[in-house]
Amino acid sequence: MPSNQEVVEAKVMEFISLAGPRGTSISELQASPGERESRRTLQRALQDLALAKRIVMRGQGRGARYFEMAPAMRHGLGFAISENADRVWHRVRAPLGQRAPLGYNPAFIKSYQPNVGHYLTEQQRLHLREIGTVPSTARADTRRREIAARLLVDLSWASSHIEGNTYDRLSTARLIQEGVVAEGKTRDETQMILNHKAAIEFLLTGDERLRVDKLTVCNLHALLSENLLSNPEDAGKVRSHPVNIGQSTYIPLAGGTLLDQDLVGALEIVRAVHDPYEQAFCLFTWLPYLQPFTDVNKRTSRLTANVPLLKSGLCPLSFVGVEPLAYTSALLGVYELNDVSLARDLFIYACERSVQAYLAVDQTLAQPDPVRMARRTLIFNGVAAIVRDNPANQKAYAEEYVQKTGGIHGDVTEFDPVVRHILEDVQRLHEGNIFRYGIRLDEFGKWKDANKAAAAAAGNDPMAP
């Protein structure tokens, strides 16, 4: 006989399955007809189902939603996929000889109707916008620099890893930041990383020339393909001859004027799209499908997908956590089936992983104290006064000083924090920070010696190391 918890899990699993691709929240579970279980019981059931890899959670806190995990999770993709994506996976993983050849289909892109038909559902777009919006803080400039520095390494490494590059993340960081070439790596691998660095730096300039257009795409390609093409003249130029795609039955457009026109037309469609994530997904899938260049098409698409996100102030897409097999399979679905199901699930997963990394930057940056910011001069002067007068009771002295000179008049919303900041700063004083308080070295030395003597007389030396 099943336990009560097993019965609850079965009911929860049935509800989530019926919810389909929209998923469900714990609040919706509680509000469902006939549901009498406590929120804690439902939370435990959801946790157990997630551990058993039967469901997956997307989002955090009150925005968390739960989805049935597709069987394809067993394929080691690392992310949940829909049933349609599961079917794509099985078809593209069949032996090459069992997959029918498919030529370029112009209607795949041209039939797309901007802002009418969407690849990403409204719920998916709202979810990505919610988690990817960069909160404005008092240290926005610092935060942008931190994100830029991290993106430079993460995207260079992850995008190159998808291409089979054997540099690890640490070696990539050393190459980018210090110019140290890792031992045992080929010149092509090193060049690939350095090309990513140059292309990403171009993305991060915020240059007004950076748009979703042919000029930007071609220039990104030129940066990414530097010193890697058999014919250097092909860098940044739409190809004029046919190409083949390894391990695929897809036959791209031959090249020349028609390819150039279709590239320009595709980019015009993307520019007409209102949602930046929908724009990014179109670029992520359409550029590889078009194969506009002799090589380095996928790398170009991954970086170009970041253009609408960066221009909209959204978290960039680094592709960290995306494995080559998952990425290749997703694009094979686009190439051979004109089906974006697997690519869509991978794209959403990649966005979520990127957000986890870049929004965590906020946690590493201390947020400025508004009182300290407003009363900086008063705090610094109070610290200097204590050093010069060396009172026996620092707390009483600081309180009297603030009352007399601060104009706060006992307002505890500022008075107590200002006094606390003065006393804490006094405890943190050392030769390396005294100048910001206007304290001379001889003043600090005299104060420090006096405190040591007083502490020694009392049998306690708080200034000792």
Give the tens place of pLDDT for each residue, 35-50. Answer: 778 888 888 899 888 8
**% of the chain exceeding 90 in pLDDT:** 58
State if pTM tops 0.85. Answer: no
- The pLDDT, as a whole number, for residue 2 is 55
Higher pLDDT, 331 or 377: 331
Token pair for 186? 């080929």
Level-2 CATH architecture, domain 4-69: Orthogonal Bundle (1.10)
Pairing, β 65-68 against β 55-58 = antiparallel
Q: What pLDDT, on a 0 to 100 scale, did the predictor assign at position 52?
A: 72
Mean pLDDT of the chain: 88
- Which segment of 22-36, 129-143, 228-242, 321-335 scores lowest on mean pLDDT? 129-143
The amino acid sitting at 456 is A
Cα separation, 47 vs 41, whole angstroms: 10
Q: In sequence order, which residues have a C-beta less than 8 Å from that of residue 156 and are 6 or more positions away?
A: 172, 176, 193, 196, 197, 200
Least confident of 196-205, 347-356, 426-435, 451-460: 451-460
For residue 138, name the pLDDT band (cuts at 50, 70, 90): very low
Question: In the prediction, which pLDDT does 75 show?
Answer: 63
In angstroms, what CA-CA distances link 170 with 148, 189, 311, 368, 425? 17, 14, 29, 31, 37
Q: Are 253 and 291 in contact (CB under 8 A)?
A: yes
Percent helix, strand, coil in the chain (nearest 5)? 60, 5, 35
Kindly report the length of the chain: 465
Report residue 462's pLDDT band, with 50, 70 and 90 as the boundaries: very low
Most confident among 3-12, 43-52, 305-314, 392-401 (mean pLDDT): 305-314
The Cα-based distances of 59 to 15, 50, 64, 126, 357 in angstroms read 19, 14, 4, 11, 14
Per-residue model confidence (pLDDT) at position 210: 85
Paired tokens of 237: 């130029």
pLDDT tens digits along 192-236: 999 999 999 999 887 677 899 999 999 999 999 999 999 999 999
Distances (CA, A) of 166 to 79, 143, 197, 247, 301: 23, 30, 16, 21, 21
Element (H, E) at 68: strand 65-68
**What are 396-405's contacts with CB under 8 Å, separation 24+?**
398/422, 398/423, 402/378, 405/378, 405/381
What is the full DSSP assignment across 99-163?
Answer: S--EE--THHHHT--TTTS-SS-HHHHHHHHHHHBPPP-TTHHHHHHHHHHHHHHHHHHHHHHHT
pLDDT for 274 beyond 70: yes
The span from the CA of 300 to the CA of 422, in Å, is 54
Under a CB-based contact definition with an 8 Å cutoff, are residues 168 and 187 in contact? no
- Is residue 325 packed enough to be buried (19+ CB in 10 Å), middle (13-18) or exposed (0-12)? middle
pLDDT reported for residue 416? 82
Report the range out of 139-148, 206-215, 235-244 with the highest average pLDDT. 235-244
Task: Write out pLDDT tens, residues 357-398.
Answer: 776 655 555 556 778 888 889 999 999 999 999 998 998 899
The pLDDT assigned to 401 comes to: 87
Mention every residue, 6+ apart, whose C-beta is less than 8 A from residue 109: 262, 265, 266, 269, 286, 289, 290
Q: Which residues pair with 314 in a beta bridge?
A: 133
Residue 410 has pLDDT above 80, yes or no: no
Q: What is the CA radius of gyration of the chain?
A: 29
Tokens of 444: 């600090």
Examine the pLDDT at 464 and tell me if it is beyond 50.
no
pLDDT for the residue numbered 55: 85
Dig out the tokens for 429 from the structure: 């004083």
The DSSP 8-state label assigned to residue 206 in this structure reads -
Alpha-carbon gap, residue 156 to 152, rounded angstroms: 6
What CATH number belongs to 83-364? Answer: 1.10.3290.10
The rounded Cα 61 to chain-centroid distance in angstroms is 19
d(CA 339, CA 330): 9
pLDDT bracket for residue 313 (50, 70, 90): confident
Helix, coil or strand: residue 376: helix
Q: How far apart are CA 291 and CA 306, in angstroms?
A: 18
Q: What per-residue confidence (pLDDT) applies to 461?
A: 46
Specify whether the CB–CB gap between 207 and 176 falls below 8 A. no
User: So what's the pLDDT on residue 69?
Assistant: 73
pLDDT of residue 110: 97
Percent of the chain, pLDDT > 70?
Answer: 90
**HSE-up of 80 (CA within 13 Å, CB side)?**
18
Give me the amino acid identity at 312: S
Domain limits, the chain = 4-69, 83-364, 370-457
Report the distance separating Cα 169 and Cα 321, nearest Å: 12
